[in-house]
A and B are shown apart, each in its own frame.
Chain A
Amino acid sequence: MVVGSVAAIGAGLAAIGAGIGIGQIGKGALEGMARQPEATNDLRTNMIVAAALVEAVALFAVVVSLLGNNLGV
Protein backbone atom coordinates (compact mmCIF):
# COMPACT_ATOMS: atom_id res chain seq x y z
CA MET A 1 0.00 0.00 0.00
CA VAL A 2 2.95 2.31 0.68
CA VAL A 3 4.26 1.79 -2.82
CA GLY A 4 0.90 2.63 -4.25
CA SER A 5 0.65 5.85 -2.33
CA VAL A 6 3.98 7.10 -3.68
CA ALA A 7 2.64 6.66 -7.19
CA ALA A 8 -0.51 8.39 -6.05
CA ILE A 9 1.51 11.40 -4.89
CA GLY A 10 3.21 11.53 -8.26
CA ALA A 11 -0.10 11.29 -10.05
CA GLY A 12 -1.56 13.95 -7.78
CA LEU A 13 1.29 16.36 -8.47
CA ALA A 14 0.95 15.72 -12.17
CA ALA A 15 -2.75 16.45 -11.82
CA ILE A 16 -1.89 19.85 -10.29
CA GLY A 17 0.24 20.72 -13.32
CA ALA A 18 -2.37 19.52 -15.75
CA GLY A 19 -5.05 21.35 -13.80
CA ILE A 20 -3.13 24.63 -14.07
CA GLY A 21 -2.50 23.99 -17.75
CA ILE A 22 -6.07 23.13 -18.61
CA GLY A 23 -7.26 26.03 -16.50
CA GLN A 24 -5.07 28.37 -18.53
CA ILE A 25 -6.40 26.88 -21.75
CA GLY A 26 -9.99 27.26 -20.60
CA LYS A 27 -9.31 30.83 -19.47
CA GLY A 28 -7.72 31.72 -22.77
CA ALA A 29 -10.46 30.10 -24.77
CA LEU A 30 -13.22 31.76 -22.75
CA GLU A 31 -11.59 35.16 -23.07
CA GLY A 32 -11.25 34.61 -26.77
CA MET A 33 -14.87 33.55 -27.04
CA ALA A 34 -16.01 36.57 -25.07
CA ARG A 35 -14.02 38.87 -27.32
CA GLN A 36 -14.96 37.18 -30.54
CA PRO A 37 -18.18 35.23 -30.19
CA GLU A 38 -18.14 34.43 -33.91
CA ALA A 39 -14.95 32.37 -33.44
CA THR A 40 -16.52 30.23 -30.69
CA ASN A 41 -16.66 26.99 -32.64
CA ASP A 42 -13.09 27.21 -33.81
CA LEU A 43 -11.87 28.09 -30.35
CA ARG A 44 -13.81 25.28 -28.73
CA THR A 45 -12.32 22.65 -31.01
CA ASN A 46 -8.82 23.94 -30.49
CA MET A 47 -9.41 24.23 -26.75
CA ILE A 48 -10.44 20.57 -26.54
CA VAL A 49 -7.43 19.48 -28.56
CA ALA A 50 -5.06 21.58 -26.48
CA ALA A 51 -6.63 20.31 -23.26
CA ALA A 52 -6.22 16.74 -24.48
CA LEU A 53 -2.57 17.42 -25.21
CA VAL A 54 -1.99 18.87 -21.76
CA GLU A 55 -3.88 16.05 -20.16
CA ALA A 56 -1.64 13.63 -22.00
CA VAL A 57 1.37 15.23 -20.35
CA ALA A 58 -0.20 14.57 -16.97
CA LEU A 59 -0.78 11.00 -18.02
CA PHE A 60 2.87 10.71 -19.07
CA ALA A 61 3.66 11.54 -15.49
CA VAL A 62 1.27 8.85 -14.33
CA VAL A 63 2.94 6.37 -16.64
CA VAL A 64 6.33 7.37 -15.31
CA SER A 65 4.96 6.77 -11.80
CA LEU A 66 3.83 3.37 -13.05
CA LEU A 67 7.26 2.58 -14.43
CA GLY A 68 8.74 2.27 -11.00
CA ASN A 69 6.17 0.20 -9.18
CA ASN A 70 3.22 -2.05 -9.62
CA LEU A 71 0.29 0.24 -8.86
CA GLY A 72 0.23 -1.17 -5.37
CA VAL A 73 -0.35 -4.75 -6.45
Chain B
Amino acid sequence: MLLEINPLVLPDPGLMIWSAIAFFILLFILGKFAWKPIMKAIAEREKGINDAIATAEKVKAEMAQLQSDNEKLLAQAREERATILKEAKDIKDKMINDAKEQAKTEAAKIMAETQQAIENQKMAAVIDLKNQVGNLVVEVAEKVLRRELANKPEQENYIKQLTDEIKLN
Protein backbone atom coordinates (compact mmCIF):
# COMPACT_ATOMS: atom_id res chain seq x y z
CA MET B 1 0.00 0.00 0.00
CA LEU B 2 1.46 3.30 -1.05
CA LEU B 3 1.47 6.29 1.18
CA GLU B 4 -1.05 8.98 0.58
CA ILE B 5 1.37 11.31 -1.15
CA ASN B 6 1.27 15.04 -0.85
CA PRO B 7 0.47 16.47 -4.30
CA LEU B 8 3.49 18.69 -3.86
CA VAL B 9 5.85 15.76 -4.22
CA LEU B 10 3.84 13.97 -6.88
CA PRO B 11 5.32 14.72 -10.29
CA ASP B 12 2.69 15.82 -12.75
CA PRO B 13 3.13 13.95 -16.06
CA GLY B 14 1.88 16.89 -18.13
CA LEU B 15 4.52 19.20 -16.72
CA MET B 16 7.16 16.52 -17.13
CA ILE B 17 6.32 16.21 -20.81
CA TRP B 18 6.42 19.95 -21.27
CA SER B 19 9.66 20.24 -19.32
CA ALA B 20 11.24 17.62 -21.52
CA ILE B 21 10.02 19.35 -24.67
CA ALA B 22 11.18 22.73 -23.40
CA PHE B 23 14.56 21.33 -22.45
CA PHE B 24 15.01 19.62 -25.80
CA ILE B 25 14.09 22.77 -27.69
CA LEU B 26 16.49 24.75 -25.55
CA LEU B 27 19.29 22.24 -25.86
CA PHE B 28 18.87 22.03 -29.60
CA ILE B 29 18.49 25.73 -30.40
CA LEU B 30 21.02 26.99 -27.88
CA GLY B 31 23.44 24.20 -28.72
CA LYS B 32 23.30 25.08 -32.36
CA PHE B 33 22.93 28.85 -32.34
CA ALA B 34 24.42 29.93 -29.03
CA TRP B 35 26.79 27.57 -27.26
CA LYS B 36 28.68 26.51 -30.34
CA PRO B 37 29.53 30.02 -31.59
CA ILE B 38 30.02 31.38 -28.07
CA MET B 39 32.32 28.57 -26.98
CA LYS B 40 34.19 28.83 -30.23
CA ALA B 41 34.53 32.59 -29.86
CA ILE B 42 35.66 32.30 -26.24
CA ALA B 43 38.15 29.59 -27.14
CA GLU B 44 39.45 31.70 -30.00
CA ARG B 45 39.66 34.76 -27.82
CA GLU B 46 41.51 32.83 -25.15
CA LYS B 47 43.81 31.39 -27.74
CA GLY B 48 44.36 34.89 -29.08
CA ILE B 49 45.04 36.23 -25.61
CA ASN B 50 47.35 33.34 -24.81
CA ASP B 51 49.14 33.85 -28.10
CA ALA B 52 49.42 37.55 -27.42
CA ILE B 53 50.75 36.87 -23.95
CA ALA B 54 53.19 34.31 -25.30
CA THR B 55 54.31 36.75 -27.97
CA ALA B 56 54.66 39.51 -25.43
CA GLU B 57 56.66 37.19 -23.21
CA LYS B 58 58.84 36.24 -26.12
CA VAL B 59 59.33 39.85 -27.13
CA LYS B 60 60.06 40.73 -23.54
CA ALA B 61 62.60 37.96 -23.30
CA GLU B 62 64.10 39.09 -26.55
CA MET B 63 64.19 42.63 -25.32
CA ALA B 64 65.84 41.52 -22.13
CA GLN B 65 68.27 39.48 -24.17
CA LEU B 66 68.95 42.47 -26.40
CA GLN B 67 69.37 44.70 -23.43
CA SER B 68 71.72 42.33 -21.75
CA ASP B 69 73.56 41.99 -25.03
CA ASN B 70 73.73 45.74 -25.31
CA GLU B 71 74.95 46.03 -21.81
CA LYS B 72 77.52 43.36 -22.44
CA LEU B 73 78.62 45.14 -25.57
CA LEU B 74 78.70 48.41 -23.77
CA ALA B 75 80.72 46.95 -20.95
CA GLN B 76 83.02 45.37 -23.45
CA ALA B 77 83.35 48.63 -25.31
CA ARG B 78 83.98 50.46 -22.11
CA GLU B 79 86.63 47.99 -21.15
CA GLU B 80 88.16 48.22 -24.57
CA ARG B 81 88.13 51.97 -24.40
CA ALA B 82 89.78 51.83 -21.03
CA THR B 83 92.47 49.48 -22.27
CA ILE B 84 92.98 51.55 -25.40
CA LEU B 85 93.21 54.69 -23.35
CA LYS B 86 95.60 53.03 -21.00
CA GLU B 87 97.67 51.73 -23.86
CA ALA B 88 97.63 55.14 -25.50
CA LYS B 89 98.70 56.72 -22.31
CA ASP B 90 101.44 54.19 -21.88
CA ILE B 91 102.59 54.76 -25.42
CA LYS B 92 102.42 58.47 -24.94
CA ASP B 93 104.39 58.26 -21.75
CA LYS B 94 106.84 55.95 -23.36
CA MET B 95 107.18 58.21 -26.33
CA ILE B 96 107.66 61.21 -24.17
CA ASN B 97 110.17 59.40 -22.07
CA ASP B 98 111.91 58.07 -25.10
CA ALA B 99 111.97 61.48 -26.66
CA LYS B 100 113.24 62.93 -23.48
CA GLU B 101 115.91 60.32 -23.21
CA GLN B 102 116.82 60.73 -26.79
CA ALA B 103 116.88 64.46 -26.49
CA LYS B 104 118.97 64.20 -23.42
CA THR B 105 121.50 61.88 -24.99
CA GLU B 106 121.42 63.91 -28.16
CA ALA B 107 121.94 67.07 -26.22
CA ALA B 108 124.66 65.47 -24.20
CA LYS B 109 126.26 64.24 -27.37
CA ILE B 110 126.02 67.65 -28.97
CA MET B 111 127.33 69.26 -25.86
CA ALA B 112 130.19 66.85 -25.73
CA GLU B 113 130.96 67.38 -29.37
CA THR B 114 130.69 71.10 -28.97
CA GLN B 115 132.86 71.04 -25.93
CA GLN B 116 135.30 68.93 -27.82
CA ALA B 117 135.23 71.37 -30.71
CA ILE B 118 135.57 74.28 -28.41
CA GLU B 119 138.39 72.54 -26.67
CA ASN B 120 140.02 71.79 -29.96
CA GLN B 121 139.56 75.32 -31.19
CA LYS B 122 140.80 76.60 -27.91
CA MET B 123 143.71 74.29 -28.04
CA ALA B 124 144.44 75.30 -31.63
CA ALA B 125 144.12 78.94 -30.70
CA VAL B 126 146.35 78.46 -27.72
CA ILE B 127 148.88 76.61 -29.80
CA ASP B 128 148.65 79.24 -32.46
CA LEU B 129 149.00 81.90 -29.84
CA LYS B 130 151.92 80.09 -28.29
CA ASN B 131 153.56 79.78 -31.64
CA GLN B 132 153.02 83.42 -32.45
CA VAL B 133 154.09 84.46 -28.94
CA GLY B 134 157.17 82.23 -29.31
CA ASN B 135 157.93 83.72 -32.72
CA LEU B 136 157.31 87.18 -31.39
CA VAL B 137 159.49 86.48 -28.37
CA VAL B 138 162.19 85.01 -30.59
CA GLU B 139 161.96 88.00 -32.94
CA VAL B 140 161.95 90.45 -30.07
CA ALA B 141 164.75 88.57 -28.39
CA GLU B 142 166.64 88.53 -31.67
CA LYS B 143 166.10 92.26 -32.13
CA VAL B 144 166.95 92.98 -28.49
CA LEU B 145 169.95 90.71 -28.60
CA ARG B 146 171.09 92.22 -31.88
CA ARG B 147 170.91 95.73 -30.38
CA GLU B 148 172.38 94.74 -27.10
CA LEU B 149 175.21 92.82 -28.63
CA ALA B 150 176.11 95.75 -30.82
CA ASN B 151 177.27 97.73 -27.80
CA LYS B 152 180.18 95.83 -26.43
CA PRO B 153 181.32 97.98 -23.41
CA GLU B 154 177.94 98.12 -22.07
CA GLN B 155 177.81 94.33 -22.26
CA GLU B 156 180.82 93.95 -20.33
CA ASN B 157 179.56 96.54 -17.84
CA TYR B 158 176.38 94.66 -17.36
CA ILE B 159 178.08 91.39 -17.00
CA LYS B 160 180.13 92.96 -14.31
CA GLN B 161 177.14 94.42 -12.61
CA LEU B 162 175.48 90.98 -12.67
CA THR B 163 178.41 89.33 -11.17
CA ASP B 164 178.40 92.01 -8.51
CA GLU B 165 174.76 91.46 -7.78
CA ILE B 166 175.35 87.74 -7.42
CA LYS B 167 177.83 88.42 -4.73
CA LEU B 168 175.42 90.62 -2.91
CA ASN B 169 172.71 88.00 -2.95
Contact = CB atoms under 8 A, between A and B. Distances in A.
Query: In the complex they form, do A and B come into direct contact, defined as C-beta atoms under 8 angstroms apart?
Result: yes
Contacts of B8: 66, 71
Contacts, number: 16
A42 B8 CA distance: 37
Q: Give the 4 A-B residue pairs with the shortest CB-CB distance, closest first.
A: A66-B6, A70-B6, A66-B9, A67-B3
Interface string A55-70: 0000000010011111
Interface residues of A, number: 7
Interface residues of B, number: 6
B5 interface: yes
Contacts of B9: 63, 66-67
Given A68-B4, A69-B4, 14 more contacts: A63-B9, A66-B6, A66-B8, A66-B9, A67-B3, A67-B5, A67-B6, A67-B9, A68-B3, A68-B6, A69-B6, A70-B6, A71-B6, A71-B8
Interface in B1-46: 3-6, 8-9
Nearest to B6: A66
Interface string B105-142: 00000000000000000000000000000000000000
B13 to A, nearest CB: 19
A71 B9 CA distance: 11
A66 B4 CA distance: 10
A71 B5 CA distance: 11
B67 to A, nearest CB: 34
Contacts of B4: 68-69
B3 to A, nearest CB: 6
Nearest to A68: B3
A69 B4 CA distance: 7
Contacts of A71: 6, 8
Contacts of B6: 66-71
Nearest to A66: B6
Nearest to A63: B9
A37 to B, nearest CB: 29
A5 B105 CA distance: 132
Contacts of B5: 67
B5 to A, nearest CB: 6
A51 B129 CA distance: 139
